[in-house]
Amino acid sequence: MNIGYARVSTDKQNDVSQIDGLTQYGCLKIFKEKASAKSRERPELDKMLNTLRERDVVIVQRLDRLGRSLKDLIELLDVFKSKNVKFVSLNEGIDTTTAMGELAFHLIGAIAQFERRLISERTKIGLTAARARGRKGGRRVKLKAKDVKMAQAMLLDRSVTKTSVAAHFGVSRPTLDKALQVAPPLQERSLFE
């Protein structure tokens, strides 16, 4: 069955030309979405994905109507492939029901994988360079060693709660608990110091 998907970003935009193109192509069912491409919430797309059966063909007017990004588009095309569903994009001439369309699909996938690997390699190089300059990765410590000692001292008073100590330092209770777990025990000071 030919299933169409039409999307516009705002209520002011018109999906008539998309619907006309999908109808002319022979779509028996068209899912119409009014949502920004940046939105993760696309209920009509979810409905369409849930109704797909083997040998269905998903048709869109343009690739950007389906995916928010190349990565998102590749993920959707992988879902289609896993369900044995074909895909057609009218403007770009991609038609995975043909050998040429299948090739185009694989080229898009290869480019996306290449892009992901480049990003990964650049990230690793950047982290190595930062470490060489003495920088560490990860989150910054919210409680310094002196703050943890002060918190330990405050907690010696049984009337003081961990929640109030966490609020005093502007951190959450779990953050305070983690800092206290890894901190060395508080040593009592000598009278002669």
Q: Is the dihedral of CA 128, 131, 135, 136 positive or negative?
A: positive
Measured CA to CA, the distance from residue 7 to residue 65 in angstroms comes to 5
Q: Is the dihedral of CA 59, 65, 67, 70 positive or negative?
A: positive
Measured CA to CA, the distance from residue 152 to residue 80 in angstroms comes to 57
Measured CA to CA, the distance from residue 77 to residue 65 in angstroms comes to 13
Give the full edge-to-edge strand order of the sheet including 94-95: 29-34, 2-8, 57-60, 86-89, 94-95
By the 8 A CB rule, do 7 and 15 touch?
A: yes
Q: Among the options 9, 17, 159, 172, which is catalytic?
A: 9
Please indicate whether residue 9 is annotated as part of the active site: yes
Q: Which residues pair with 3 in a beta bridge?
A: 29, 58
Catalytic positions: 9
